[in-house]
Amino acid sequence: MELIPALYIILPLLGAFLIPIVGHFVKGFQKTLSVLITLFLVVYSVWFYVVGYDAPAVTKVGGWEAVKGIPIAIYLVYDGLSAFILLTVNLIAFLSTFYAMGYIKRFTAENNFYALLCLMIAGMNGVVLSGDIFNIYVFLEIAVIASYALVAFGTEKRELEASFKYQVLGGIASLLILFAVGLLYWQTQTLNLADISAILQYEDQSTALIFTEVLLIVGFGLKAAMIPFHAWLPDAHSSAPSPISAMLSGVLIKAVGVYALIRLFFNIFTITYELTLVIIVLGTLSMVIGVLLAIGQWDLKRLLAYHSISQMGYVVIGVGIGMMIIFEDGNRTVAALSIAGGLFHLINHAVFKGLLFLDAGAIEYLAGTRNLKELGGLSRKMPVTSSTSLGASMAISGVPPFNGFFSKLLIIIAAVRAEFYLLAALAVFVNFVTLGSFMKFIRYAFFNLKESGVSLIKLRLPFSMKFSMITMVILCVLMSLMVFPFFREILLNPAVDVLMNTGEYASKIIGS
């Protein structure tokens, strides 16, 4: 079976095109097609992990070959890192889409919802696969424009206000990224990532190049909602329908923010001390300030949104420590351990935070509120939601044997071995504060002594919602196996190798 990377983009785009047309005439078409597309992409992603694939696989769109060594085609690149992120994106996309089959009945315009969802998935997959920096920007815009509409899908004042704020800050980020792309083209006369990498290998760190890097950090930092670029995230995540909140928090900020930063600054630009220090500082600020802002929240989805900022801080400091060790030509084993911990936490966060947003959606679906002060005693009335919420809370709080414990442990061990003792101490501190925050959630929502002040509007959750929630909580346990060498070798090491071998990206893609 030959790998065809373009299917990750073509199929969701086809779904986005067909759903508004056929869904108008065929009842249930939009749900069925969306679920089938996302299920196929998950199976497609897992298949190539199972059978093994000699990455990278490069597709030259249109079949255009290089002219005098200059790549003129648009490249789609499937390597160990893109394979790992694609698996994460499409796994959460499938479970969120399946969950939405029951949840989205409370809204009108289902055709529009599923069409926009397919469009967002196509955009995220395109960002991950693109080997061309301008097309990273194009696919990024496809994904975020769809997400702007989905955040406002409830069309109430709160949703529209959140979407407007998201659009303003997202537009600023897009402008900065586009300006950086123009500057990079001016300096290298190419847009192909591998070609840019090959050219920059022989270039000094000029003022223009440093300015370009700063623009990209700010632009993608806004997309990833890292501190201090986080202002849009709490409103957007709390206002969107819960399946979209799971997508925004679970994969969108990773695919269009963190992944882009990792790809560019490991494989394209030359690693410098100043650049690495900025990334570590941003990750540390996000990890600490995000969790402190979450403590006082009583709106469940806002609480989860701030924890998204904090947990992505773990990912950034994991890859940042690895980047610093590579720059200093230190112990490569420790660097690989730190990067593996960061990537491990990235997929773990996608699962347990996606589950928490789905749980929040289930609570709001039945109780009609997500204010923790108005909830209580739901453990008997909502046993599935109660159990999955407890599992996800223990996972995000780093309680063994759940997956979050092992990814955080890898990052902390790597920080200690690399003598980043303050970072290790802060990571432990943040984990304890996270545990306290989710103990509050579990207590007030499910085990409070008083009964809920609201009546349950519906008696039972739809099967599709319970299926996604139960599947995710099972994954929160099973993914702990990735700490063992056998599973880490299959899932994590190919992505880690791409980042560790920073200078090989260009030679593997264009043969330079």
pLDDT tens, position by position, 380-407: 888 999 999 999 999 999 999 999 999 9
Distance CA 48, CA 55 (A): 10
Once rounded to an integer, what is the mean pLDDT over residues 230-241?
Answer: 84
* pLDDT value at 453 more than 60: no
Distance CA 75, CA 130 (A): 6
Q: Name the DSSP letter for residue 4.
A: -
Residue pair 346/479 in contact (Cβ under 8 Å)? The answer is no
Residue pair 373/448 in contact (Cβ under 8 Å)? The answer is no
* pLDDT value at 64 more than 70: yes
Least confident of 242-251, 335-344, 406-415, 450-459: 450-459
Residues in CB range of 139: below 8 A, 6 or more apart: 9, 122, 123, 124, 125, 126, 127, 130
pLDDT in tens, 166-217: 899 989 999 999 999 999 999 998 898 988 988 888 777 788 899 999 999 9
Q: β-strand 74-78 against 57-61: which pairing, if any?
A: antiparallel
Residues in CB range of 208: below 8 A, 6 or more apart: 183, 186, 187
Which pLDDT does position 42 carry in this prediction? 95
Once rounded to an integer, what is the mean pLDDT over residues 287-293?
Answer: 94
- E strands in 166-226: none
Distance CA 472, CA 468 (A): 6
Distance CA 464, CA 98 (A): 6
Q: Say which residue the tokens 């702990």 belong to.
A: 480
Q: How much of the chain exceeds pLDDT 70, in percent?
A: 95
Residues in CB range of 479: below 8 A, 6 or more apart: 347, 348, 351, 403
* pLDDT value at 138 more than 80: yes
Average pLDDT, the chain: 88
* pLDDT value at 62 more than 80: no
